[in-house]
């Protein structure tokens, strides 16, 4: 074979003697195009086209085994060869009855654990009859107002046998209290309850914004829950420290990794300050990461997370090896899902799921193809669930423990991610820890900068998204989506609230709420313990939240907008310069246009709003970032006082059909019908006509190019100017 002639497609007339000349050719190719082939990632990691054993020199985790510190290869010795990961689909919508029926169908079809999504009214500690939540009830999750709702939610689902995860942070005290009482009344003691409560408030202040109270009392709540569950609920995870929402808000993988683990370190310190022994609670801490489309880096991220958490926990000198172990749930990315050509989302989710599994997750949620537009239908939820079943039963990935171990590329990525994340963790430490870093605004600022820069790359097609900025269909067919009748859900919830209040003992409710307020005021006692008694007396989620609000107050964040990120990324782009010039010309004749970016209802997801505010500021608009959680009436008042020409309402939580028309009507009622109202965000195409018929001037759905939106708004302003 050594003298056999081999043809190569490197050039039309090249032949050489194999195998010796293969090395020469390869070296020549790589040397000539090495820089061109390097991938400069958002994480600051330069990915080479070729990795060899030399890249693993100095990497010290290579000889470790699964189930052994530092757990890079997995927290369990046999991993999926012993037991597959838990299929834990995140779901909840409408009423408790509707969600219960959905859960039971999924469990019958192979799902192994529950993960509950609550609506935004519940997250923010409001009962469904509160005037501030008219557009939010039942829309982005299930509405829960009392123990009675919680009992219906789990009707026919044995809590002695079923592990339940609950994504709840702001109203975590009344929700967990209601769950405990519902379990007891089903015949399951609190010691028998298994599952996880998210209880991660620091990331709410950074990115997700479903907080209620200021940081200090919020951290007390976290510590009280860790204390209570450590003593009373040995099978229950007291906290799920979440990086998922950071990546969804735009964080790089290094930022997600560093800030999540820094949050975890802060929570451990808070629990130790309560006098708890680290081994009494460390084994019940869990984590929650997003899995996006950077396939190998996402798998490496989970491996690096276990390495770094083991290092962090060693600081606290636990005696049990399990206290050093990071366990995690993962969810495929919501941001990677696209409205355009949505069946591509099935493929994206499958790759992300495989990445999570190869990284060693303990449980997994796979997103449905339609979640860029609405909550999943039964049809899309079945595909999402079956994605995991096929992975478990047809691919063979459960047969081998840590199949990526030893990969030059993955092991090098694991080491580099860990190194860069550790440097950021140390930066947080130098600021005094994560609570102080959050107060300083460092994590939020870095994440918003990363989100804006990525949007610029997508808009310039430097980062390809199939079906969005390349290979786009000329005509898109509508797909069936799950529509929630917000009005009927709210009416049903109000009716049940009235029934609960009518049947309960008012004196008992008053006594238990007074006892909870005393615990909050005095700083002594356990908030969750007191709330369990209030929930048992049928105090509502809103009443329990308000009992603590009276002592702790509400947290109100001041919106800030980063600048000089989107514009510089477009500095030499002719289209960008044309839009900037058009806006400047408009300003000469009509004054610099002012746009207010508004978030209405209880939707705290502000990535899109912040990106638009930042980009539009760079383009030349005067931008006013409205506060979170406004009512339409409040937004209209602010728009008039600030003399804005345009209000851009950002909606990511399905409240647009209720809130946008109310905003238009509020402006008209105040004599400001000349203010242009546009709406952007997660809005199904089926809703565009409804919004336009109700006074909205333009709708910008998921995946809209920022420059296209700016051009359309300038067109609207110029049209108004001509018609005046």
Active site residues: 90, 244-245, 599, 603, 605
What is the phi/psi pair of residue 354, to 5°? -65, -40
- Contact by Cβ (8 Å): 616, 595: yes
| DSSP states along 613-657 | HHHHHHHT-EEEEPPTTB-HHHHHHHHHHTT-SEEEEEESSS-HH
**C-alpha closest to that of 537 among 514, 505, 515:** 505
Starting from the edge strand earliest in sequence, which strands make up the sheet with 164-166, in order?
236-237, 195-197, 164-166, 113-116, 86-91, 363-365, 328-332, 285-291, 239-242
H helix intervals, 49-88: 79-82
Q: How many CB atoms within 10 Å of residue 218?
A: 21
Distance CA 371, CA 482 (A): 10
Residue 86 is classified by DSSP as E
CB burial readout 512-532, b (16+ within 10 A) else e = bbebbbebbeeeeebbbbbbb
Residue 470 is classified by DSSP as B
- Contact by Cβ (8 Å): 200, 169: yes
- Contact by Cβ (8 Å): 610, 681: no
- Token pair of 348, please? 């994206």
Distance CA 206, CA 101 (A): 34
Distance CA 257, CA 636 (A): 40
- Contact by Cβ (8 Å): 91, 99: yes
**C-alpha closest to that of 134 among 145, 149, 121, 146:** 121
CB burial readout 76-90, b (16+ within 10 A) else e = beebbeeebbbbbbb
Q: Which residues pair with 625 in a beta bridge?
A: 597
What is the number of residues in the chain?
Answer: 724
Residue 546 is classified by DSSP as H
What residues contact 351, with CB distance under 8 A and at least 6 apart? 293, 295
Burial class of residue 200, CB neighbours in 10 A (0-12, 13-18, 19+): buried
**Geometric angle at alpha carbon 245, from 243 and 250, rounded to 5°:** 100
Residue 53 is classified by DSSP as G
Q: Please tell me the number of Cα atoms within 13 Å of 483 on its side-chain side.
A: 13
Query: Could you check whether the bond before residue 156 is cis, i.e. omega within 30 degrees of 0?
Result: no
- Token pair of 396, please? 């063979």
Q: How many CB atoms within 10 Å of residue 296?
A: 17
Q: How many CB atoms within 10 Å of residue 96?
A: 24
Q: Which residues pair with 240 in a beta bridge?
A: 286
What residues contact 294, with CB distance under 8 A and at least 6 apart? 41, 253
**C-alpha closest to that of 241 among 229, 228, 258:** 258
- Contact by Cβ (8 Å): 635, 677: no
Per DSSP, the three-state class of 485 is: coil
CA distances from 174 to 190, 345, 541, 724 (A): 15, 36, 5, 54
């Amino acid at each position: 074979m050594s003298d056999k002639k081999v043809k190569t497609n490197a050039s039309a007339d090249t032949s050489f003697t194999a195998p010796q000349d293969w090395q020469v050719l390869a070296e020549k190719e790589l040397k000539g195009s090495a820089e061109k082939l390097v991938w400069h990632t958002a994480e600051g990691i330069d990915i080479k086209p070729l990795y060899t054993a030399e890249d693993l020199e100095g990497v010290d985790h290579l000889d470790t085994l699964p189930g052994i510190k530092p757990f890079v290869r997995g927290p369990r010795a046999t991993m999926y060869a012993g037991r597959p990961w838990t299929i834990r689909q995140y779901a909840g919508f409408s009423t408790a009855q509707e969600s219960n029926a959905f859960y039971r169908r999924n469990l019958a079809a192979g799902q192994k654990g529950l993960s509950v999504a609550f609506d935004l009214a519940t997250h923010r500690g409001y009962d469904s009859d509160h005037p501030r939540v008219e557009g939010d009830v039942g829309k982005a999750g299930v509405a829960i107002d009392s123990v009675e709702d919680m009992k219906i939610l789990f009707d026919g689902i044995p809590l002695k046998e079923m592990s339940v995860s609950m994504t709840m942070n702001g109203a975590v005290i009344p929700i967990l209290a209601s769950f405990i009482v519902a379990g007891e009344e089903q015949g399951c003691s609190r010691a028998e309850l298994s599952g996880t409560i998210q209880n991660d408030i620091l990331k709410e202040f950074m990115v997700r914004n479903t907080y209620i109270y200021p940081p200090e009392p919020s951290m007390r709540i976290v510590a009280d829950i860790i204390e209570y569950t450590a003593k009373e609920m040995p099978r229950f995870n007291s906290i799920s420290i979440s990086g998922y929402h950071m990546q969804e808000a735009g964080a790089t993988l290094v930022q997600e990794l560093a800030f999540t683990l820094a949050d975890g370190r802060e929570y451990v310190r808070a629990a130790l300050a309560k006098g708890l022994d680290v081994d009494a609670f460390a084994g019940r801490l869990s984590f929650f990461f997003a899995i996006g489309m950077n396939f190998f880096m996402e798998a490496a991220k989970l491996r690096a997370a276990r390495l770094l958490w083991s290092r962090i926990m060693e600081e606290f000198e636990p005696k049990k090896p399990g206290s050093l172990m990071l366990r995690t749930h993962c969810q495929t990315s919501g941001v990677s899902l696209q409205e355009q050509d949505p069946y591509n989302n099935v493929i994206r989710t499958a790759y992300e799921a495989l990445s999570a599994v190869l990284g060693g997750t303990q449980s997994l949620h796979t997103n449905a193809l339609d979640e860029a537009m609405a909550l999943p239908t039964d049809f899309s939820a079945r595909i999402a669930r079956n994605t995991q079943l096929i992975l478990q039963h047809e691919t063979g990935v459960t047969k081998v423990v840590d199949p990526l171990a030893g990969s030059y590329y993955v092991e090098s990525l694991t080491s580099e991610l860990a190194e860069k994340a550790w440097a950021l963790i140390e930066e947080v430490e130098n600021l005094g820890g994560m609570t102080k870093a959050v107060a300083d605004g460092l994590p939020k600022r870095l994440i918003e900068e990363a989100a804006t820069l990525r949007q610029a790359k997508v808009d310039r097609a430097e980062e390809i998204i199939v079906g969005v900025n390349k290979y786009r269909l000329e005509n898109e067919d509508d797909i069936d989506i799950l529509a929630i009748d917000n009005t009927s859900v709210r009416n049903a919830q109000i009716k049940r609230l009235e029934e609960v209040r009518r049947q309960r003992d008012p004196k008992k409710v008053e006594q238990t709420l007074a006892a909870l307020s005393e615990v909050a005021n005095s700083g002594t006692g356990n908030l969750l313990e007191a709330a369990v008694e209030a929930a048992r007396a049928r105090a509502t989620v809103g009443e329990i939240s308000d009992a603590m609000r009276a002592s702790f107050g509400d947290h109100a964040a001041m919106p800030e907008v980063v600048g000089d990120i989107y514009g510089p990324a477009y500095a030499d782009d002719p289209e960008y310069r044309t839009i900037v010039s058009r806006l400047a010309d408009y300003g000469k004749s009509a004054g610099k246009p002012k746009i207010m970016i508004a978030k209405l209802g209880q939707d705290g997801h502000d990535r899109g709003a912040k990106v638009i505010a930042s980009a539009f500021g760079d383009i030349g608009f005067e931008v006013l970032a409205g506060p979170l959680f406004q009512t339409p009436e409040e937004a209209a008042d602010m728009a008039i006082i600030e003399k804005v020409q345009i209000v851009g309402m950002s909606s990511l939580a399905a409240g647009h059909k209720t809130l946008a028309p109310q905003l238009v009507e509020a402006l008209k009622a105040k004599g400001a019908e000349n203010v242009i109202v546009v709406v952007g965000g997660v809005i199904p195409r089926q809703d565009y006509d409804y919004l336009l018929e109700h006074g909205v001037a333009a709708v910008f759905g998921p995946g809209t190019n920022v420059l296209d939106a700016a051009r359309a708004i300038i067109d609207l302003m110029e049209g108004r100017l001509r018609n005046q």
